[in-house]
Amino acid sequence: MKKICTHISMVCILLLSSYALMAQTQGKVYETKTVKSTILGRDVRYTVYLPADYEISSRTYPVVYLLHGYTDDNTGWLQFGEINRYADKAIAEGTIPPMVIVMPNGDSSWYINAYDGKESYEDFFIKEFMPAIEKTYHIKSEKRYRGIAGLSMGGFGTLNYALKYPQLFAACAPLSAAVIDDDAIAGMPDMNYENTFGQLYGRGLKGKDRLNANWYKNSTLKIIEQKTGDELKKVRYWIDCGDDDFLTKGNCLLHIALTEKRVPHEYRVRDGAHTWTYWRTGITDALKFIGDSFHQQ
């Protein structure tokens, strides 16, 4: 009987040790926090992942802003992408450095300012959201410790911010980015255009009338065309899109545009489509690429 009790005690100790070790390697997630926006006139939700040692350490951390896709919200990367699990594993294994990951709610804004000024999400993100986040959390508020990533619409937003504000980001990692060329937007069926882009670039526009000032101000390919190679080299780029993704053409054009400007970048085409399975299997490599940017060369 004594031996049985001793054995049970040892099992309990091992289980408790295992749970304690697990707790030490698990980050903490706050699913719904808010930032008050004067620019948008409302509170904006966000989700934040904090590394396991955040609450017991006095250090400051690098940050990655992780943007969701169209029709999703700030919980998408948590609910469907399981970002906390992938980040925990990558940090524990030393694949990525401990980092704060912030996921804002972008609704269907495409993370830009609308043509009519009714929704200035880009201004909110740059002027209000990032400063608020970096005052709230123990974050290194410097370009070399700041990265941005996202999928689909969030990939578009990632490129948009990295290209427009290279002084703010060390690296970017768009996954299945919604890079759309002029012909694609001009030839888009009217209903698709109205439902997705009408509020951004102008209602009721058809054909080449859609290629207006606000379109070119936010077109990934146009922005690259107008910048010099030296300007573009200020940010490191990780581009990843599946071979069966409907956005593969735009990502190919992005790769070609950067290549023609002789801008170093990583371009990945893996087997897969526009799915969470694809993004879950790619997020660790994307975060590793960004995390490597936080290191001294």
Q: Give the chain's count of helices (H) and strands (E).
A: 15, 8
> 77: closest CA among 284, 290, 281, 280?
280
3-class secondary structure, 45: strand
> 74: closest CA among 109, 103, 38?
103
Residue 44 burial (C-beta neighbours within 10 Å; 0-12, 13-18, 19+)? buried
pLDDT tens-digit series, residues 21-37: 444 679 999 999 999 99
Q: Considering the domain 28-180+219-293, what is its CATH architecture?
A: 3-Layer(aba) Sandwich (3.40)
* Cα 113 from chain centroid (whole Å): 18
Give pLDDT, residue 21.
43
> 152: closest CA among 274, 234, 264, 259?
274
Residue spans per domain, the chain:
28-180+219-293
β-bridge mates for residue 240, sequence order: 175, 268
pLDDT tens-digit series, residues 76-90: 999 999 999 999 999
The gap between the terminal CA atoms of the chain, to the nearest Å, is 61
Residue 201 pLDDT level (bands cut at 50, 70, 90): very high
Predicted TM-score (pTM) of this structure = 0.92
> 154: closest CA among 274, 41, 257, 28?
274
Instruction: Assess whether pLDDT exceeds 80 at residue 296.
Output: no
Instruction: Assess whether pLDDT exceeds 50 at residue 11.
Output: no
Sign of the C-alpha dihedral computed for residues 29, 32, 36 and 40 taken in this order: positive
